[in-house]
Amino acid sequence: PSPADTETPLEMRLVPYGRDQRLLLARDVTRTQRLETMRRDFVANVSHELKTPLTVIYGVAEEMAEELAEADPQWAPSVQLLRDQARRMQRLVQDLLMLSRLETGGVAAERQPVAMPALLDELCAEARALSGERGHRIELEAQPGVNVLGAESELRSAISNLLSNAVRYTPDGGTIRVGWHADGHGAYCRVADDGIGVPREHLSRLTERFYRVDKARSNATGGTGLGLAIVKHVINRHGGRLEIASEPEQGSTFTLVFPPEAVTYEAAAASA
Ligand code: ADP
């Protein structure tokens, strides 16, 4: 029977046995699933509980940065550090909450046509602001009238993660190209940079939670280590997949591949 036909969730594997026989191994994974649910709930609860105290700490640190540091400049570096670290913890907690929401839900909840060209335009502007004086060139080429049937908030967060990574892992003045187009097989949202790239041996693990090629660099640039895990969950929930291509010192390309069912066309574009 297939695992779905039985009451107990089973994980099945065929292994070679003897010369031309196979052995079917079935394992009851009820306990594993229960532990996974417990882990998920625990992370979600802890993150939720940390949210309020962190907001308070960050607020107070900001106040101190303005007033105390001005009155007594010797405190300025410590107060700055306090504020930055509180901010970093806030980002981490936000990402953890987002990830646990994504992990518990099945398919994307709200589904409506999301105008990708407009969304990408907005997110590119945000990425330019993030780059600021670092002067990256951020170029967008989007096929008009092609939309995604999906959850806008999730798509926004996924693409914004890809863009902030591109900015963070590309040296000043580098080029980031964002593309959006569709063909008969689906639609593709591409974020390509000419930055530091990723050595081949790390590629397959990039979307694991907290996996970083260079932890120090990631921390220094404000990363939480959860960005690509979020991206992967979001695209999976839209029935698609994340493709990664990268070459050290040459750059990286991250592509969200949407299946045809998740793509809609505006009437004007369809008849054009
Ligand atoms: P982080 O917060 O550490 O950036 P992510 O999950 O977003 O976490 O990314 C995981 C790791 O993948 C990063 O630490 C970095 O090593 C690598 N990475 C992600 N995007 C890029 C990129 N555009 N160029 C080079 N390396 C990248």
ipTM value for the complex: 0.99
The yes-or-no verdict on residue 24 having pLDDT over 50 is yes
Percent of the chain surpassing pLDDT 90: 70
- Please name the residue ranges forming H helices in 67-75: 68-71
Exposure b/e, 221-234, CB count within 10 A at least 16 = b = eebbbbbbbbbbbb
Nearest CA residue ID for atom 11, ligand 1:
212
- 128-166 burial, b for 16+ CB within 10 Å, e for fewer? bebbeeeebebebebbebbbbbbbbebbbbbbbbbbbbb
264 Cα–ligand 1 center, Å: 30
Average pLDDT over residues 23-52: 90
Pull the structure tokens for residue 135. Answer: 């002067």
pTM of the model: 0.86
Cα(178) to ligand 1 centroid in Å equals 17
**Interval 163-177 mean pLDDT:** 97
Position 33, amino acid:
Q
- Residues of the chain with pLDDT > 70, as a percent, come to 94
Whole-number Å distance between alpha carbons of 139 and 128: 10
For ligand 1, the distance from its centroid to the CA atom of residue 208, given in whole angstroms, is 11
Quick one: pLDDT band at residue 106, thresholds 50, 70, 90? Answer: low
Each residue of 86-105: pLDDT tens digit? 999 999 999 999 999 898 87
- CA 215 to centroid of ligand 1, rounded, Å: 9
Q: How many Å apart are CA 117 and CA 265, to the nearest integer?
A: 12
Closest C-alpha to ligand 1, atom 7: 227
What pLDDT digit, counting tens, does each position of 50-60 carry? 999 999 999 99
Q: Is the CB of 251 under 6 A from ligand 1?
A: no
Question: What is the distance in A from the centroid of ligand 1 to the CA of 212?
Answer: 6
CA nearest neighbour of 148 among 256, 272, 12, 10 = 256
Question: 198 CB less than 6 Å from ligand 1?
Answer: yes
Model confidence band, residue 218 (pLDDT cutoffs 50, 70, 90): confident
CB of 196 sitting under 6 A from ligand 1 = yes
Residue 248 · residue 190 · CB < 8 Å: no
Task: For residue 259, report the distance from its CA to the centre of ligand 1, in Å.
Answer: 25
- The CB of 252 under 6 Å from ligand 1? The reply is yes
Tell me the torsion sign for CA atoms 198, 181, 238, 240.
Answer: negative
Q: Which of 95, 175, 217, 228 to mutate to test the pocket of ligand 1 (most atoms within 8 A of CB)?
A: 228
2 pLDDT more than 60? no
Instruction: Return the residue whose CA atom lies nearest to atom 10 of ligand 1.
Output: 212
Q: What is the mean pLDDT of residues 206-229?
A: 91
pLDDT of residue 210: 93
Contacts of 178 (CB under 8 A, 6+ apart): 120, 124, 138, 139, 140, 141, 142, 163, 189, 190, 191, 192
